[in-house]
Structures are given as C-alpha cells and as structure tokens.
Amino acid sequence: MLHPKAIRFRLYPTPEQMTLIHKMFGCSRFVYNHFLAKWNESYNDTGTGLSYHKCATGIPALKQSFDWLKEVDSIALQSSVRHLADSFDRFFRKQNEAPRFKSRKNPVQSYTTRYTNDNIAIRDAELKLPKLGWVRFAKSREVEGRILSATVRRSATGKYFVSIVCEMDIAPLPKLDTAIGIDFGLKKFAVCSRGEDEINPKHLRKRERRLAHWQRILSRRIPGGANWHRAKRKVAMIHEKIANSRNDFLHQITTRWIRENQTICLEDLQVSDMLQNGRLAKAISEVSWSMCRKMLEYKAKWYGRTISVVAKDYPSSQLCSSCGHRNPEVKELSLREWDCPVCGSHHDRDKNASLNIEKEGLQLAAMTA
C-alpha cells in the first residue's frame, strides 16, 4: 500500500550553495509574511480572509515589484503560500493558534520545493535540488518510491538537512494474535501488560548540568557578539543531542511494539492539562508521551496494526484486573500497591493499570472492527 514517508539526510553545501539556500529562506519568509499581512488586512476590512488561489496568483505581480524574488525557486514561493493556507485551515479547525509572522532571527529556517520535471534527483552521494544543482549529502540509506517534495532546513546548530518525502509501497506486517496494554509513567517510561517495563532514560536530566552551565555563560555574554554566538551554538548543540537521543529511543521502542503486537492499547492522556502541574511539568515534557503516540499511530497505519485508545476518564488504576472490583482508595498516587478487598489479589498499581487498559482497549477495538 502506498504511503508518504519522509527521509532526512545531512546536507553539505558549498559556500555558493549556502548563499542560495539563505536567499531561498529569506524569499520564502518574505512571501509568507507578505500574504499573511494581506490576509489579516482583508479579514479586518471585510470579515473574510484570502484563499490559496488568490494568494498564489498574486506571486507574479510580487515578482515584478521585487526582482530579487526571481532569483530563487518559484515552487518554494508557491509552497510558502500553501503553508500559510494550511495554517489557517488548522486554525479554523482549532488545531493550532493563528499563524504568526516569521522572523529572520529564528535560528531554524526552512523552505520546501516539490518534484516536477526531474528537478529533484539522486546520483550516488549527491542530491539535485532546484537552483542549487548537485549538493553533496550523507546518503545513509536508499531512497525508494516516487519523490514528492524536499524540505531544506538549517538547524539551530548551523547544520543543513533535507527531508525527502517519497510515496513508498509499504507492505503490512503479518497478522498476529498478540495485544499489549501500555501504561505511561514518569519513574518508568511505560509498564506493559505483557510484563516488560521500559525504563525512563531521562535524556534531559543526563545533560542538565552541562546545559545549565552553558546557559549561564550565554546569559553573561553581550548579545550579538562572537562569544555570544559561540555560547548560543553550544546550547543549541546540547539541545540537539537531547532531541536526537529522545527520538532514537522513541523510534526503537515504538517499532518493537508495532512488530510484536497486532493491537496496541493506550490511555488517552491529556498532556496539555497535565503540564499545568508545576511540579511535574518538566518531567512530563521530558518523556514525550505525545510524540510516542504519534509514532505509534503512523507506524500502525503503515504496517496494518490497530491502535485502541481508552477514554481519559477510564479508572484503569482503580479496577481490579482479576475480578473488576473498583477501589476508590487507589486515587491517591502515593499508593503504589494494594490488595483487592473482594478477591484478595495483590496488585502493583502500574501493572494492574496496563492489564485493565489492554482489556478495555480490546473491547473497544472489537466494537469498532
């Protein structure tokens, strides 16, 4: 079955190619901000915004006013308008806040171009991109399927990456009879109904002292100076290492769950509400439950697995997984183990919750099948 899949590679552009990349960053940002201002102006005057078609047809006139827009990839400018339209669509569906103007001071910059007439191609360890020509890149794996688009991005550490979106034929995995219930936590990243406990690697805590050290140095530097930029890049490098370690851990664990189970049962955690707890906000942000769920959902779609999400008000910790008796005393988080007053079963709080999540998730999956 065909699915879009993004593959990221490190780019090694020449100084001339870096200059062109930065021009494309600036021109894409300018077009985005220009039409965002037009959209806001139209909405304030008439009560309605602008359509994607109206913005896209306004690009040629904009090029006549600003000749330097003709120096960059025209598809990248069209993509900026498409991103603006998509941002407003998500805003009206209440999926995100209203689009904001992009800043050239943001350390992360990007632009997107789409495949047409072989303008994106791969030859050995070189990648062909519009206006840039052949750019050397770290080819860590083969690119399969039909190329749809490419997004060039500069990270906060000054590295250049390209994300190539391909339409790939991903074969579903063989069907299994196994299921798993997963109870996410802080002391342990996940307690599974099949007996495996996944430890919380705490990637941020491992580098927290070094991060705080360089953040203090950055705060003492004069903004804009060479030493300030050096310290800022050092802070960004530490954040990048934390993010890479976290993503690697999440990819490994979600891929294993997908390969070993037909149905994965999860609890619908309201992470945004839980972050309001000042004592736990840092620890909750560090474990990235939301990212883990997103990975499971798209990998399940690729490989023919089922994700069953249990309602947030389901009392998974209070129910006895043996007899179903509900013990309201287990609401206290300090109570880690308890005995069922009906059947006498001894329960570990998290293990019991994972078993109940699996039972409820399988019932929900059977109802929707």
Catalytic residue positions, numbered: 183, 267, 350
Q: What sign for the dihedral angle of Cα 365, 247, 121, 58? A: positive
CA angle 145, 258, 354 (to 5 degrees): 155
Q: Minimal CA–CA distance to 188: which of 175, 197, 179?
A: 197
Beta strand spans in the chain (E):
2-12, 109-114, 121-123, 126-129, 133-137, 146-154, 160-169, 179-184, 188-192, 197-199, 263-267, 306-310, 337-339, 346-348
Torsion angle of the four alpha carbons 163, 168, 174, 179, in this order, in degrees rounded to the nearest 10: 40
CB distance 264 to 296 below 8 Å:
yes
Give the rounded distance of the alpha carbon of 201 from its chain centre. Answer: 19
| Local structure of 112: helix, strand or coil | strand
Instruction: Give the H or E element holding residue 208.
Output: helix 208-220
In a 10 Å sphere around its CB, with 0-12 CB exposed, 13-18 middle and 19+ buried, how is residue 343 labelled? exposed
Label the pairing between strands 188-192 and 346-348. unpaired
